[in-house]
Amino acid sequence: MLTALESSTFLDPLRLLEVARARFGIESWRPGQELTIVNVLAGGDTLAIMPTGGGKSLCYQLPALEISGTTLVVSPLIALMKDQHDKLEALGVDVLRLDSTLTPREEVAALERLARPEPCIAYVTPERLSDREFRSQLARVKVGLFVVDEAHCISQWGHDFRPAYLGLGEAVRELGRPTVLALTATAPPRVKDDILAQLDVRDATVVDIGLQRPNLRYHVVKAQTERKKRAVLVRLLERMLTGSTTGCGIVYAATVKNVEALCTFLQKCGIEAGMYHGRMRSREREEAQAAFMERGEPRVMVATNAFGLGVDKANLRFVIHYNFPGSLEAYYQEAGRAGRDGASATCVLLYQPDDKRIQSFFLGGRYPTPEQTKSVSDALRRLGSAAEAAGRETPALKDLAEAADVPAKKTRVVLSFLKDAGYAREIGGTQFAPLGDEPPDEPALQRAATRYEQKRTQDRARLQSMLRYAQSHLCRNKLLFSYFGYAEDAAEPCGTCDNCVRSREDSVERAFAAERAERRRVHELTAPVPMPAHVTDQESLSAERRALLEQTMARRRARANRARALRVERAAALAPRCSAFVTGDVVRHPVWGEGEVMSVAGDTIGAFFPGHGEKLLKAQFLEKVLEA
Ligand SMILES: Nc1ncnc2c1ncn2[C@@H]1O[C@H](COP(=O)(O)OP(=O)(O)OP(=O)(O)O)[C@@H](O)[C@H]1O
Ligand SMILES: [Mg+2]
Ligand SMILES: [Zn+2]
């Protein structure tokens, strides 16, 4: 235990800032860092939710130097571990990687090092940590701080859900309950609760500083066809690359095929672009990553979203999403890789309304149906028993898929479920054998089907929010805030997103139009009343006659005005009130604030209010702020 005096110097923020300065070259704290670091050093479990690029790594790197024993960091990707490892090594921090790339001898050496009490940071993947044998070896290591980076991966509601993360709560208990620090940029309320529950740290301090990234300009560009989308991409890249002379950017595409096709297309258009995806050989991939990260060569990288997660490149000036992401969380994470140096950066989402991928997402093509689940389970039993009887190898995934008549990807999903539920055994990642003699019973298969159904519903809801973001006329920053569960008034309109810029331009345009109308009105009031055509010689009219004529003309004009006003009033009374609103109008409600019209049926308007959700209400309660 620390004495009061020791603990007060130990936790003194000024002294800690000195250490941060000396070891990491940091001048002042970023929001949330000080609180998180002090809390962690005081032994308090903490969940820190800070924006992408907000400086979450420092929240464990600094405490790691101060506590005795190892700081074990669970990290989702080997590339990310490598990036952080190399940076820390360059700073002279004692750091290790415990991933599958280590040879057995290297692993023994690493564990030997960890058994010593001097501070050290060790990175590990959740898959490695779920290996029982590896865990038993870790038993000799004193873990002082247990860190879960990208903690949203723990939550089944998180967009990157990884089953191996589910074992982390158990790992924490086995390691003797060290202080736990979970870090993420994207934790809507449900995900936040899930992280705390999974890690069994329900009383953890939550440091949540929101999504503040004022330097990011969010834009959405609609393109009706693939060809137009490509043309937009070329225009955007030309503008971005000539706009700054050193900045780089990423173009994200959804699949390996798209990445390859886009890269070739850009090169044909004379735009030099690198390429990164999971099917490249690891040497090539590493070279492509290093060239882009270290030298910015070439300045554009076309990649699948595995590229850049948590990787720290300061001068990314733009991130363009060529394909539609599946959720706002994923979009915010990926777009947030731009502008980590704090200088302004642009995040563009290209949106093609009839994108086939979006449609197929909605049709729920990703999860097996109950029939497919049963079919794979039957095929496994049939082929497995036959192979065993004939003394042949256990059936391979592709044979099972063929026998069940279910696509390979979905067959894989069902087999994973059967494995988790104790009905199947996996051999070498491609072959499966049934376990036990009894086939899974109906309730077990039903459970699997329910789980897929939940996932499907959840995916649809996520995609719906993403679509809303793309189609909305409201401030994109405010939409993000409301999606992540922050109060609507936590964010002012950003003033820099496409919608804010457009609404400013509209209001300037409206102000001009109002001024023009006012000028016309004043002119009409003050202009001399024209005389009837037959009065040719005005000079010859007597003063009385002239006054009389003017009065008649004024009366006639007033009558015409009244008639016009009456016509307008009658038309308004006859037309249904709702005709004043169309989809896309920005409206204001006295209680829910600003929202957007989603549907119009008679005088019932469906409108979406950030922070309050979708409401159905009568048109009379809404005031129009901006026309679609
Ligand atoms: N207080 C600070 N002052 C200046 N720079 C800082 C500070 N804290 C962190 N940084 C720098 O900010 C950059 C981003 O930090 P970091 O990689 O920790 O972000 P992150 O929050 O983990 O983001 P992501 O969600 O993308 O993983 C790093 O280059 C880091 O050195
Ligand atoms: Mg990070
Ligand atoms: Zn805005």
**Cα distances (angstroms) measured from residue 280 to each of 77, 257, 284, 287, 303:** 16, 12, 6, 11, 11
Query: Do 19 and 25 contact (CB within 8 A), yes or no?
Result: no
Determine the distance from the C-alpha atom of residue 445 to the mean position of all C-alpha atoms in its chain, rounded to a whole number.
Answer: 33
pLDDT of 485 above 90 = no
Of the chain, the percentage scoring pLDDT greater than 90 comes to 40
For ligand 1, whether the C-beta of 50 sits within 6 Å is: yes
| Residue 460: φ, ψ to 5° | -65, -40
CATH code of residue 35: 3.40.50.300
pLDDT at 118 over 60: yes
Does residue 576 carry a pLDDT above 50? no
Q: What is the mean pLDDT of the chain?
A: 85
- Ligand minimally distant from the alpha carbon of residue 58: 1
CATH number for the domain including 409? 1.10.10.10
Cα Rg of the chain, angstroms? 32
Cα–ligand 1 centroid distance for 33 (angstroms): 10
Residues 456-480: pLDDT tens digits? 788 888 888 999 999 999 999 999 9
Which ranges in 42-156 belong to alpha helices (H)? Answer: 58-66, 78-90, 104-115, 126-129, 132-138
Q: Which of 16, 56, 57 to mutate to test the pocket of ligand 1 (most atoms within 8 A of CB)?
A: 57
316 within 8 A of 338, measured Cβ to Cβ: yes
Same domain, 179 and 233: no
Bridge partners of 207, per DSSP, are 48
Query: Pick from 151, 135, 124, 148: which is nearest to 40 by CA?
Result: 148
Considering the domain architecture, whether residues 570 and 593 belong to the same structural domain is answered as no
Looking at the structure, do residues 343 and 379 belong to the same domain, yes or no?
no
Who contacts 291 (Cβ-Cβ below 8 Å, separation ≥6)? 274, 297, 298
Distances (CA, A) of 220 to 229, 321, 502: 12, 9, 12
Q: Is residue 453 part of a domain?
A: no
200 plus 142 within the same structural domain: yes
Summarize the confidence of residues 37-60 as an average pLDDT. 95
Query: Is any atom of ligand 1 closer than 6 Å to the C-beta of 30?
Result: yes
Among the candidates 208, 238, 261, a domain finishes at: 208
Centre of ligand 2 from the C-alpha of residue 311, in Å:
7
Number of domains in the chain: 5
Could you tell me the distance, in angstroms and rounded to a whole number, from the CA of residue 55 to the centre of ligand 1?
A: 3
**Whether the bond into 325 is cis, omega within 30 of 0:** no
Does one domain contain both 346 and 295? yes
Distance in Å, CA 150 to ligand 2 centroid: 7
The pLDDT of residue 5: 46
**Rounded to the nearest whole angstrom, what is the distance from the C-alpha of residue 200 to the centroid of ligand 2?**
22
Summarize pLDDT for 219-239 with one digit per residue, the tens. Answer: 999 999 999 999 999 999 999
What is the rounded average pLDDT of the residues 562-575? 61
- Report the atom number in ligand 1 closest to the C-alpha of 84: 17
Tokens representing 619 are 């048109």
For residue 617, the enclosing domain spans 586-624
Ligand 3 centre to CA of 592 (Å) is 18
pLDDT (0 to 100) of residue 577? 47
Ligand approaching nearest to the C-alpha of 160: 1
Is the pLDDT at 431 greater than 80? The verdict is no
The Cα 103–Cα 118 span in angstroms is 24
CB of 76 within 6 A of ligand 1: the answer is no
Q: From the CA of 73, which ligand is nearest?
A: 2
| Assigned domain for 445 exists | no
How far, rounded to the nearest angstrom, does the alpha carbon of residue 425 sit from its chain's CA centroid?
35
> Is the pLDDT confidence value at 495 over 50?
yes
Residue 580 in domain: no
Tokens 């004009």, residue located: 557
Q: Torsion over CA of 172, 174, 176 and 178, rounded to 10 degrees?
A: -20
Query: What per-residue confidence (pLDDT) applies to 588?
Result: 87
Q: Which is higher by pLDDT, 326 or 39? A: 39
pLDDT at 447 over 50: yes
> Shortest CA distance to 413 belongs to which of 372, 459, 463?
372
Which of 80, 213, 312 is the best mutation target for the ligand 1 pocket, counting ligand atoms within 8 Å of the beta carbon and taking the most? 312
Ligand closest to the CA atom of residue 339: 1
